C-alpha cells in the first residue's frame, strides 16, 4: 500500500468519523450554553465600541473629513494561534482604508468554546495515527485537522449573526461615528470574512433603492439594513434578501414571488397586497407589519432538511402582531409559525401545513380550516 493510500485510509476510517463526532459535540455544547456564548460576544463588542468612541474623541479633528469614522469591525480567528492552542481572536475596528488603516482599534475575544474542540480533535488524531506504524506523521495529522478550520469559522459566523441585533442595539454602538458604509464581518484573519451586519447610509433615496432592487443583482441585497423607505409597486421576484433587515419600509403591491427571504426581518413594514408566492420565508420576522390581502401561497417556513447547522440556529418564523386580513396562505408550509396577536380575519388556510403553529383562539371558526388543521394548531 502506497503512503497516499495509507493517508486516504486514515482520513476515511479515522479522521472523518472523528470529525463528525466532534461537530456533534460542538453543536451540543452551543445548544446548552447558547446564552452564555452570545453574552460573551456581545460584551466583547461593547468593549471595542467603548475603545472606538474614546479614540474618536481624541481624534475629533479628523472626524469631520471622515478619516477616523469607523467603516469596518472584523472579528478574526487566528489559525496560527489555534495551532499553538491559543483560542484568541482579534476584534479590530478600521476606518474606510480597512487593512491599510494605520491606527486600527483592537480588542481580543477568547473563543475557547469553539477551538478547544479542534485542539482535542488534533490530539486524538495524533494518538490514533500511532497505530499506522509511522506512516501517518505529525505533519499529516496537523494538516488534516486544520483543513477543518473553515468549518469552525462557520459556527463563529453563525453565532455572531444571531447576536447581531443585540450588538447593534448597544448604546455604545450608537455613540461611535460610523462611515456611510459600515460593515461588521467575521472570518479568518487576512482571509475570507462574511458580513453579519451591514449599513449603507449613502443609499437612502427611495427611487435609487428601488432601481437598485429592480436590477436583481446576485447577492447584492443580503445581510443589509434598510429603513424608512418607500420602494412599493415594483417587481423584485426571485431576488435574494436573505438575513436583511427592513424597518418601516413599504413593499406594498410588490411582486416578491420565489424570493429567498430566509432570516429576513420586516419590522413595521407595509406589505399590503404583496405577492410572496413560493418564497422561502424560513426564520423571517414580520412583527408588526401589514400584509393585508397578501399572497403567501406555497411559501416555506421550514429549515432545510439534513442541515445540522441550520437546525441548531433555527428561529421560528414570526407574524406576531402582524395584520394579515384577507391574506391567502393556501398550501404554504407554516409549521411552528408564531401568529400570536396577528389579525387573521378572512385568511385562506386551504391546504396549509399548520402543525405546531401558534394562533389565537378567536380564529378557530375560520371556514377554510379542516378538523385536521385545527388539531395541528396550538390554540391560545
Alpha carbon of 265 to those of 225, 277, 286: distances in Å? 9, 18, 6
Alpha carbon of 192 to those of 3, 6, 82, 260: distances in Å? 32, 32, 17, 23
So what's the pLDDT on residue 202? Answer: 78
Asked if residue 213 and residue 98 are part of one domain, the reply reads: no
H or E stretch at 91: strand 88-94
Q: Taking residues 106-133, report their average pLDDT.
A: 93
Asked if residue 213 and residue 81 are part of one domain, the reply reads: no
49-53 long-range CB contacts below 8 Å, 24 or more apart? 49/170, 49/172, 49/173, 49/175, 49/176, 50/172, 51/93, 51/105, 51/106, 51/107, 52/93, 52/105, 52/176, 53/172, 53/175, 53/176
Rounded CA gap, 275 and 253, in Å?
7
Asked if residue 207 and residue 183 are part of one domain, the reply reads: no
Residue-wise pLDDT for 178-204, tens only, equals 999 999 999 999 899 999 999 888 777
Phi, psi of 77 (to 5 degrees): -85, 140
Place of cell 391567502: 328
Asked if residue 189 and residue 164 are part of one domain, the reply reads: yes
**C-alpha cell belonging to residue 119:** 485542539
Q: Taking residues 82-111, report their average pLDDT.
A: 90
Instruction: Report the number of distinct structural domains present in the chain.
Output: 2
Asked if residue 131 and residue 209 are part of one domain, the reply reads: no
> CB of 289 within 8 A of CB of 265?
no
So what's the pLDDT on residue 331? Answer: 97
Domain boundary residue, one of 194, 225, 246: 194
Asked if residue 159 and residue 16 are part of one domain, the reply reads: yes
H or E stretch at 355: none
Share of the chain above pLDDT 70, in %: 96
Asked if residue 333 and residue 354 are part of one domain, the reply reads: yes
Asked if residue 379 and residue 320 are part of one domain, the reply reads: yes
Q: Which residue range is the domain that position 52 belongs to?
A: 3-194
Q: How would you class 27 by CB atoms within 10 Å of its CB: exposed for 0-12, middle for 13-18, buried for 19 or more?
A: middle
Place of cell 443585540: 166
Instruction: Give the pTM.
Output: 0.84
Asked if residue 212 and residue 121 are part of one domain, the reply reads: no
So what's the pLDDT on residue 102? Answer: 77
From 66, 116, 67, 104, select the one nearest 189 (Cα to Cα): 104
Asked if residue 231 and residue 183 are part of one domain, the reply reads: no
Which of the four pLDDT bands, split at 50, 70 and 90, describes residue 134?
confident
Asked if residue 348 and residue 374 are part of one domain, the reply reads: yes
From 299, 263, 11, select the one nearest 157 (Cα to Cα): 263
Amino acid at each position: 500500500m502506497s503512503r497516499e493510500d495509507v493517508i486516504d485510509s486514515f482520513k476515511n476510517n479515522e479522521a472523518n468519523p472523528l470529525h463528525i463526532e466532534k461537530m456533534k459535540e460542538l453543536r451540543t455544547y452551543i445548544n446548552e450554553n447558547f446564552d452564555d456564548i452570545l453574552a460573551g460576544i456581545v460584551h466583547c463588542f461593547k468593549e471595542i465600541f467603548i475603545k472606538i468612541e474614546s479614540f474618536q474623541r481624541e481624534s475629533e479633528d479628523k472626524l469631520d473629513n471622515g478619516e477616523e469614522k469607523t467603516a469596518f469591525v472584523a472579528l478574526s480567528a487566528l489559525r496560527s494561534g489555534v495551532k499553538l492552542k491559543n483560542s484568541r481572536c482579534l476584534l479590530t475596528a478600521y476606518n474606510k482604508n480597512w487593512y491599510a488603516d494605520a491606527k486600527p482599534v483592537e480588542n481580543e475575544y477568547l473563543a475557547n468554546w469553539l477551538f478547544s474542540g479542534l485542539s482535542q480533535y488534533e490530539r486524538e488524531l495524533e494518538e490514533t495515527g500511532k497505530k499506522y506504524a509511522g506512516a501517518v506523521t505529525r505533519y499529516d495529522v496537523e494538516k488534516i485537522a486544520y483543513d477543518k478550520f473553515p468549518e469552525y469559522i462557520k459556527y463563529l459566523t453563525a453565532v455572531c449573526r444571531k447576536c447581531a441585533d443585540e450588538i447593534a442595539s448597544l448604546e455604545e454602538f450608537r455613540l461611535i461615528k460610523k462611515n456611510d458604509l459600515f460593515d461588521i464581518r467575521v472570518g479568518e484573519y487576512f482571509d475570507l470574512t462574511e458580513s453579519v451586519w451591514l449599513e449603507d447610509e449613502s443609499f437612502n433615496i427611495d427611487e435609487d433603492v428601488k432601481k437598485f432592487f429592480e436590477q436583481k443583482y446576485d447577492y447584492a441585497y443580503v445581510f443589509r439594513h434598510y429603513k424608512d423607505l418607500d420602494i412599493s409597486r415594483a417587481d423584485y421576484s426571485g431576488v435574494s434578501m436573505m438575513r436583511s433587515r427592513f424597518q418601516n419600509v413599504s413593499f406594498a403591491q410588490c411582486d416578491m414571488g420565489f424570493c429567498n427571504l430566509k432570516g429576513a426581518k420586516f419590522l413595521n413594514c407595509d406589505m399590503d397586497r404583496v405577492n410572496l408566492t413560493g418564497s422561502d420565508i424560513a426564520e423571517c420576522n414580520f412583527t408588526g407589519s401589514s400584509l393585508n390581502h397578501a399572497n403567501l401561497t406555497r411559501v416555506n417556513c421550514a429549515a432545510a432538511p439534513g442541515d445540522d447547522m441550520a437546525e441548531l440556529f433555527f428561529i421560528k418564523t414570526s407574524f406576531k402582531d402582524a395584520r394579515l386580513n384577507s391574506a391567502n396562505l393556501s398550501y404554504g408550509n407554516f409549521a411552528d409559525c408564531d401568529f400570536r396577536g396577528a389579525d387573521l380575519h378572512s385568511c385562506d388556510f386551504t391546504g396549509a401545513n399548520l402543525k405546531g403553529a401558534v394562533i389565537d383562539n378567536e380564529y378557530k371558526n375560520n371556514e377554510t380550516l379542516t378538523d385536521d388543521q385545527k388539531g395541528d394548531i396550538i390554540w391560545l
